[in-house]
Structure 1
Amino acid sequence: MNDCIFCKIIDGTIPSIKVYEDEHVYAFMDITPLAKGHTLLIPKQHVKDLFDMPSELAGHLYSVAPSIANAIKTAFNPKGLNTLNNNGAAAYQSVFHYHLHFIPRYEEDGLTLVWEPIKPEMAEVQQAATAIADALNA
């Protein structure tokens, strides 16, 4: 895609600080990091989001993810690690090329992930599970 910042990173039009690359995926440092070691993992193929990603590409990307996470753990010894992916504008996706954030977490780093859970009845939870299972089996 001509106007995709991540496609431009992959083709070298925009510079990046690479940490990993193979035939299908590319990992690089986030230039607006939330913490030391914040890394992004993207497919080289332009895929808008997880909804559009072919399963074989997702399988490869997620097979690389533990190696990236463990490299961050070895390099920086964080106390934890968030992996984060946003799909669609309503989920705060801002770059419409799939990307998985690896955000190392440190004691008192000031980062918060705050949400207010809904409180459904168990019947509603069961209905949701049935709808998802039905969609998977369709």
Structure 2
Amino acid sequence: MECVFCHIVRGEAAAHLVYEDRAVVAFLDARPLFEGHVLVVPREHLPTLTDLPPQLLGPYYAVVRRLAGAVQTAMGAEGSFVAANNRVSQSVPHFHTHVVPRRRKDGLRGFFWPRGRYPDAARAAEVARRVREVVSADGAG
């Protein structure tokens, strides 16, 4: 399957670019939540966040941070929403981060899905323990 983001990165598909450097490209989302909605992508085809090499994390998120401020200022927004899906709900299988300008009462309510609570502190502690074990096992913790 051809990756539309790879085509944009290579200049083979039209997009409204807002930023590019050796590692990262950012462009307007063709179907924005609001005007100014930007997608930030690594130049290299990497399907998910976990495929992003450690040496690219800092430079990549430095661009995301810079664009969060730029989008907010350029659009006269009160803030921004920054998010990335990892496989589930990822419409293009090329890792990307959404930077969306936000205003109070703009119609978006927190996350886009219902939120809940843990049934009790014991269940929360169990979930935290499971995540800590995996983080410790992979050397990140």
Give the aligned partner of residue 94 of structure 1: 91
1:128 is displaced (CA, Å) by 2.5
Question: Partners in 1 of 2:30 and 2:106 — Cα distance?
Answer: 18
Aligned partner of 2:139 in structure 1 is 137
RMSD of aligned residue pairs (Cα, Å)? 1.8
Structure 2 regions of 5+ residues with no counterpart? none
Off by >3 Å, runs of 4+ in structure 1: none
Equivalent residue pairs, number: 135
Residue by residue, what CA displacement relative to the aligned partner does 1:11-63 show, whole Å, maximum 9, x if unpaired?
12210000001111001000100012100100001101111111111221011
Which piece of structure 1 moves more, 107-116 or 22-31? 107-116
Counterpart Cα distance in 1 of 2:23 and 2:131: 33
For residues 1-138 of structure 1, what are the structure 2 equivalents within 5 Å?
A: 3-88=2-87, 91-112=88-109, 113=111, 114-119=113-118, 120=120, 121=122, 122-137=124-139
* Residue identity matched to 1:108: K
**How far apart, in 2, do the equivalents of 1:21 and 1:38 lie?**
16
Q: Is the contact made by 2:71 and 2:100 (CA closer than 8 Å) also made in structure 1?
A: no
Measure the CA separation in 1 of the matches of 2:84 and 2:62: 16
Aligned-partner SS, 2:93: coil
Q: TM-score, normalised by structure 1?
A: 0.88
Deviation at 1:108, TM superposition (A): 1.7
Q: Deviations over 1:71-129 (max 9, x none)?
A: 112112212211110001xx311110010000111122112323323405243144124
CA pair 19-127 structure 1, distance change in 2 beyond 3 A: same
| Percentage identity across paired residues of the two chains | 37
